[in-house]
Amino acid sequence: MNWGSAGDFLAMGGHGLYVWGSYAVSAAAVLVEVLGLRARLRRAAAQPGGQP
């Protein structure tokens, strides 16, 4: 185990902003894509004759 405490884990040896900034933006990008896809599929399915 690398981390003594949750604080240590978040601090990432003083570079927490960089490490968590990377992962947060990655998660956000995935989330945006997934939500966008869901909306697009709903729009496509809602049009007359579209498939569910």
Partner 1 sequence: MASSDSGNHAPGAPRRAAAGPLWLRYAAPVAFAPLARRMTPWFFAAAAVLAVAGLYIGFFVAPTDAQQGEVYRVIFIHVPAAWMSMFIYLVMAFWAAVGLAFNTRLSAMMASALAPTGAMFTFLALWTGALWGKPTWGTWWVWDARLTSELILLFLYVGFIALQAAIDDPRRADRAGAVLAIVGVVNVPIIYFSVRWWNTLHQGASVSLTAAPKMAATMLTGMLVMTLACWMYAIGAALWRVRAIIAEREGDAAVEEQSGTERGGRTT
Q: Tell me, what amino acid is at 11?
A: A
Instruction: Select from 34, 4, 29, 9 the least CA-distant residue to 20.
Output: 9
Site membership for partner 1, residue 35 (CB under 8 A): no
- Contact at 8 Å (CB) between 44 and 50? yes
Report 1-30 residues binding partner 1 (CB under 8 A): 1-3, 9, 12-15, 18-19, 21-23, 25-26, 29-30
Contacts with partner 1 by CB under 8 A lie at 1-3, 9, 12-15, 18-19, 21-23, 25-26, 29-30, 33-34, 37, 40-41, 44-45, 47-51
